[in-house]
Amino acid sequence: MKNNDQEFKTLIECWEELYPDRPTTGLSDFFDRLRELKNRMSLPAHSPGWYKDVIVYSLYVDLFNKDFSGLESKLDYLVRLGVNCLWLLPILDSPMRDAGFDIRDYRTIRADLLGLPEDAVQKDKMDVFKRFLQHAREKNIHVIFDIALNHTSDEHPWFREARKSADNPYREYYIWSRDDQRFKDARIIFKGLCASNWEKDGEEYYFHRFFEFQPDLNFRNPVVLLEMAGHLLYWLEIGVDGFRADAIPYIWKEEGTACENLPQTHTVIRFLRAVLDYARPDTLLLAEACQKPHLVVEYFGRGDECNAGYHFPLMPQIYKAVAMENGLPVKHTLSPEVTPDIPGNSQWFTFLRCHDEVSLELVYVTEEDRKFIHDHYCKKPQWDFRQGQGISARLSELMDRDPRKIGMIFSIMLTLPGTPVIYYGDEFGKTNDEAYYHEMIRLSGKDDTRFLVRGKIGWEELDRHLRDNTSMEYRVFDHVSRMVTIRRAYQCFGRGDLVWMESRLQDGALASGILSYVRSYHEEKVLVIHNLSGAGCIIAMPEGIRPDQTIDLLGHRLTKGETGHILQLDPYDYFWIDLTNRNL
């Protein structure tokens, strides 16, 4: 290696950990390409930790509004909602057998999303996407998208070559075996949908952790690591602000293990993070690690792996708290015993709903929790996912299509620590889409109930509802957009401390149905109060509320007693009270 390659010290260390028998001279050409790219980069620098201050909106481009031109036409709608970061669910070229997570080409966007014919040339495709990114940037909206690092589609050119013969050079891009007995301790993730992690192909089997048409990549082959790093750099130069790294716990496989969360997986992630940080610091690498918090924390490393990760267990525990009318599940989940501290430059991402089910896997909940949440919220047999391991239902369905409950549960997510993610349509109470569900069963051949929580937005009908202040859509959108606007004005929600507060009834008894806490950051201090119950109650006036405060930050009226010592809460009430008397 050259002496001036010390700037790539982390990359060299990772290489030596992963491939001790491979000389580091294999990195020389990659380092040269990295330097050339960095010199070409013309994008503005990111603000440090920008991902802590955004509101993320997650969408499928085609289901949201047909293609990128349609999405571009709705950027003003998103600005009106108040979101300032888009998470684009899979957009890369794919046969679409798993909603785009089966990638056929890592450097091409599906032509239908660009409004172009299938045979359109690459330059025309990139011009459409670059124009969209530019318009989003002009409206101060960041853009990240999904990339599956663990597997490809079986239609990917690498795999088409690999399956031709055992001596094909691409054979080592994947994991092959003469039988299906290897990695016996690796659980089947799609229980009920797949019978095995191995699929017969010719005389051998290939390994897959997800559907059989998604063969796993072999990161024991260093060429695979460099190829995947190159894909990230390609899109970085195009102008995306970050990546949601799909299914990263499964990247490395080792006989005699569960093939999850292995040390080498973390080394791979550290390598990729160092590549991104060199090219454009503070590019977001978001971990989709479906694990318990103490394991997800490991994907932050020492602040040198993923910048952020989803707090998966918090979501079902929020639902449990609402069902129980008791905040203890949320408090317990965010306690140090369950959720360890994370590096200062790292961040949790939180959500209420996403493109998948309400997951009740035992990595998130206990068996008792699973039964309680499933019994309470799986209101139709059709909503069941993977034999009781989840619930396929939209947020509005889970909240009984009640704008008060929807607003209240949004308030919980928007004020707890982390960066919140709004799943498209939930901001106006979109319901389960039965027609889309049946259409996708027909097209995919899979009875995957997650299709219920996807579906298209009918904009003409929605626009009509949003002009009607009596409609559910208007009421939900009004609640959510108001909260999003206020949250963005206060950094304490994305960066601040949390202190739990006890609420007492008039007789001094603990008000277990009240979830209350203070968020503070520098001079900011906001008291948040939620009534988780469908019944009203009266509590002792919380400390810090001034006698002259009658309206909270959201415009909600504080109903006090004649003496000013009590606060009345209606069913599912919530308040955000500025204790610093800051003027917006």
Active site residues: 246, 288
SS3 content of the chain, % helix, strand, coil (to 5): 40, 20, 45
Q: Cα separation of 441 and 1, whole Å?
A: 54
Kindly give the pairing relationship between strand 308-310 and strand 347-351: parallel
As a three-state string, the secondary structure of 319-377 is HHHHHHCCCHHHHHHCCCCCCCCCCCCCEEEEECCCCCCEECCCCCCCHHHHHHHHHHH
DSSP, residue by residue, 223-243: HHHHHHHHHHHHHHHHT--EE
Is residue 316 a contact partner of residue 391, using CB atoms and an 8 Å limit?
A: no
Q: Structure tokens of 445?
A: 């051949």
SS3 69: helix
Q: Cα separation of 571 and 565, whole Å?
A: 20
Residue 481 phi, psi dihedral angles, 5° rounding: -65, -35
DSSP code at position 180: S
Is residue 180 a contact partner of residue 205, using CB atoms and an 8 Å limit?
A: yes
Q: Cα separation of 182 and 236, whole Å?
A: 37
In angstroms, what CA-CA distances link 6 with 10, 37, 73, 267? 9, 18, 47, 18
Partnered with residue 524 across adjacent β-strands are: 521
Kindly give the pairing relationship between strand 347-351 and strand 284-287: unpaired
Is residue 255 a contact partner of residue 182, using CB atoms and an 8 Å limit?
A: yes
Element (H, E) at 107: strand 105-109
Judged on CB neighbours under 10 Å (0-12, 13-18, 19+), 558 is middle
DSSP, residue by residue, 140-166: T-EEEEEEESSB--TTSHHHHHHTT-T
Q: Name the residue among 580, 49, 14 with its Cα closest to residue 283.
A: 49
Phi-psi region of 515 (alpha: psi -120 to 50; beta: other; left: phi over 0): beta
As a three-state string, the secondary structure of 540-564 is ECCCCCCCCCCECCCCCECEECCCC
Is residue 238 a contact partner of residue 130, using CB atoms and an 8 Å limit?
A: yes
Q: Name the residue among 289, 260, 291, 286 with its Cα closest to residue 364.
A: 291
SS3 526: strand
Residue 521 phi, psi dihedral angles, 5° rounding: -160, 120
